[in-house]
Chains A and B, each alone.
Chain A
Amino acid sequence: MPDWLKYVRQHLALPDCPPEREAEIVEELAQQLDDAYGEGLQSGLGEREALLAAERHVSDWPALANDLMHGGIGQTKGVQRRRLRQYAARASGRRPPSTAVPGREPENDTRRIAALLDAFRQDLHYAARALAKKPLFTFVAIVTLVIGIGVNTAIFSVVDAVLLRPLPYPESGRLAVVWSVLGKEGRAPSSGPELVSLRERSRLFDQFAGIWVQGGALTGKGEPEQVKLGLVTSNFLSLLRTRPERGRFFLPRDEGGGAAPVIVLSHELWQRRYGADPKIVGQSVLLSGQSCTVVGVLPSGFKLIFPEGASVPPKIDVYVPFQWDLAGQSPDQGYIRVIARLRAGATLPQGQAELDNIAGELRSEFRDYAEQNLHLQVLSLQADAAHNVRPALLALFAGTGFVLLISCANVAMLILSRADERRNEITVRAALGADPGRIIRQLLTESLLLSCLGGAAALAISWAILRILWVLQPAGIARTAPTGLNLTVLGFNLIVSLLCGILFGLSPALKSRATNLASVVRDATRTATENTHWSRQLLIGCEVALTFVLLTSSALLVRTFVGLLRVDPGFNPNDVLTFQVSLPDARYPTPARAIQFIREAERRLSTLPGVQSVGVVSHLPFDDNLPNWYDYFWREGAPKQERNTRMADHRSVLPGFFDSLGITFVAGRNFNTSDEVANRKVVIVDDSLAKQLWPDGDAIGKRLNVENGDFVRDVAEVVGIVKHVQYHSLTDQVRPQLYLPYAMAVRANMSFTVRAGSSPQLLIPSIRREMARLDKDLPVANVRLMDDYVADARMGARFVTVLCGALGAIALLLSCIGIYGVTSSSVTTRTREMGVRMALGAQQGTLMVTVLCGSMPPVIAGCVLGLALSRGMTPLLSTLPFEVQPVDPAILASVLTFLGFVGLSASFLPIQRVIRGNPITALRCE
């Protein structure tokens, strides 16, 4: 029985036909010939005759092949003809004629697309096979890419969530935040009259609304609970275009003096405290001793997104309309955080121009505003909410970009070394007539496949990185939605993967064009061309430069963070437990009642076993939940122009506060009972305030004009000077501080600081018991260690530093592998040359110098470039939300030494092997 498959294969040549299709054709023709042969036998022919009869079915095999090719099984006629023309041109040494086909029919286009897709499929198949053949190469390349693309995708998803994605309010692009800018003090909350003026005078904004966050207590049914109160204008919630889940939001009639007290509850509070009671709307609840009617419930997940430092936390439990007339308040009392909604079609710059005009009008109409040098600033709510984290995120994103470039450089170098190995294969393919474009496409497909595989695996890594970031999250990032992998992030990952594939695949692919048979034959004994040599030198130079910049920046940030860990906040946070109370007006209507309660609480707590000292203060350091209290101060009798120029943080304290937090007295004394008995107005200031007003050091006994707790000005005598306390940030000295005795500045929200001998948490039950004995309806809230507040303050810096440190380490690892791999392999390629030189009597030292002269220049050039680039990085790093120390020579020198060491050892070790070995072995080396 004849082997018809073999017979057809021997006779039918189908160049450019896809292999699978060719196999089908061969099989089908063989089948039909076999049918014909069988029929011949059946009809009584002998084997020989039947064979000949079957063979006669195809008398002209080339004509059949031609028919099949023209029938469109592999290439279209046009492609076939062009291929033939190109072949003829190549054979005769002419340039091929233009391949443009005028007036192509749509059917041809479809065929062309089908042919392209088919070619792509073939390329992909070939690329997968080529990668599978070199598993180690593929593994190393993919791991390198996973690191580069993974960190990039993770940081991008944070950037996307924090900086790019719109805020979770309808038409959030038109939301803006308005700040009053007072002289040198910078931005500040606005006063009631300012808000009213804005509403009256603006034409470009639909609405202005304001919020002021305070603490309150919910009593009545159940345990008393301290809640965050959002005191708001009646249009605040509707301006955000949120819809109530139940009931309604506020109406204009709910705002102002004399309005019936109404509240809106957060979804979480409604569920937690009222068991999601469907009939909550219309019920009365006791809020800070006052009976209020619930008019609505907010939807689940609603949160406020305000800039860090605005003292507006994301979660507020209860919203209450302002119960006073905003217009009638003093223009000095800035406490309202103002948001606005731009009219459709109006832009922020137009809005800013309008507010500039309004501020000008206010300054000319009111003396107070002129003295304060009032300006108004309007910013997009989204941009301002992220303004603190933006520089850090962008710096990190740039860092990950560097890591990605280093990964790409490494993979490009890997591919280049492989291109040397594959030079023969490529050259033979080209010599056999393969289209140069096709070879480039094939190599590019390989790198794209590699990068896409890396990109897909990187998604898993970035998911893991995001989980870690979630643990480290600083407040500015926590404010926005939880970060995860969404479509934007997936799109980014795909684009980055494709770009990487093109970036590291293009150069080796283009290099394949320059390859020709003659050069391969000529350079048979060499393994690297001059071309790839220069590409590698360039890649090493770039890689060293990028690593240099990353290492310098990381080292700088790590050192800054270590500095932050050591910074003295001005107090001792260890073993101090804190908690807050909010005295409701209804039950503590007079200052005397409040003073009596706070004093008694302090006295009782200090008698508890294990308690060393107890203090009370209106604002804890690093606590951003309540609005800060700061105002102007001046020397008694200061001329008018000096008055509204300097501001200080005002704090109301009981004398035990300084002792319990370990704040040191620089001069003078603490408050004492005799002050009160004699009804003396006294104040303690910090050293920086004392230095500002009395640089000669004679502050004690001087008299200072300050604001007391009732927004009323008072004159007090300086009796003590304490060390400055870092209230807002660990590094920035925002404002000086002054402390007033509680009896002189009674406030409703007070924090207790309890210093214990050890383990302050153990005191919590006894503290709660003691406070409940004093007032069972008063909630004890925010029970936290002072250490936790300090840790939070370090969080932002820790986030950036840990990530930068990690990026630096990754960059270092990748570039060490890259530099070492490439330098040592280029030294190894010179083994034979070394052997010849040694055989001719060259000295070891001379050989060493020769090799180093070849391998060190790109490392040195990279270091020089990196040095220049890192000088450019310093101003960028200074935009970070904490103070970064300038680049110092010690860091630069260490980075230089380290990278130099990597470069030297990469050259030194392989050449050492050659020198110590036998010259004959080196000579034999190919």
Chain B
Amino acid sequence: MDLLGLANYAVFMAILIGIYALLALGLNIQWGFTGLFNAGIAGFFAIGAYASAILTSLPASGRLGGYELPLVVGWLASMVAAAAIAWPIGKICLRFRSDYLAIATIGIAEIIRLVIRTEGWLTGGVRGVTGIPRPFGDLDYMPSQVAYLAIVATLVLIAYLLVERQVKAPWGRMMRAIRDNELAAAAMGKQVEARRLQAFVFGSALMGLAGALFVHFNRSVTPEAIDPMIATFLIWIMLILGGSGNNRGAILGAAVIWIIWSVSELLTDRLPTEVAVQAKYARVFIIGLTLQLVLRFRPEGILPERQAGSPPHR
């Protein structure tokens, strides 16, 4: 155990927290401010991941790709692709009430996963895409991680500031009005469906960017990364725990849950070897228990949504 190792681990955790924070911010736009139950986060994460991977990776036979475009293009494309796919989905599905939307988005995420697995000419199929560049990837272990963290942190900060500004603007108040009382908002002349679609598309674009950041960090992407447990439900838990409707809450939730998820394994490692295999499941249990406790004792999350003027009523 030395400090350098600990620092390296902390930097790695911070990078993943940053990526999850982007996902949580995206979900916060959809659920926290607009009340759209998106249970298909993994799908938009995957679209962003593959879009950037295909555009920036080295050439390979048997699949699309190898354009070796600059990273920035890949990252912009990941957001555009996720948004472009979210648009028709939203156009069709957002007419559903929240629980039907949840079921539809689960299905859509599964369709996206199966398309990625089966359409080898596009995505490399189950073998995935490799040879994806990583910015500052040629540096040594520590500096390269720190450099990547800087990029991720900057993007999270920009996303946070932009979302925060948007939510404080009249747009944000309108979104909350639609979320809390759709009929009243419609009666005031707000275009409920168009606004919901906006939120859905913006949120999905952020999720796509998170996917791109994840694959460039690992220099590879395979369909195994699109696991609903780790790419959908964990993010829901982060947002609920951190406080939906509060951007700082979303980021804090990402940090708390990822730290519990990662660090709890170090604790279970101290258990005797006879139960080592069983102990690995403890962290899944811990996450579930945390969610239960939060929902029971603090349903509004650690940092609740700030209500201007009126007392919290939800």
A and B: bona fide binding partners: no
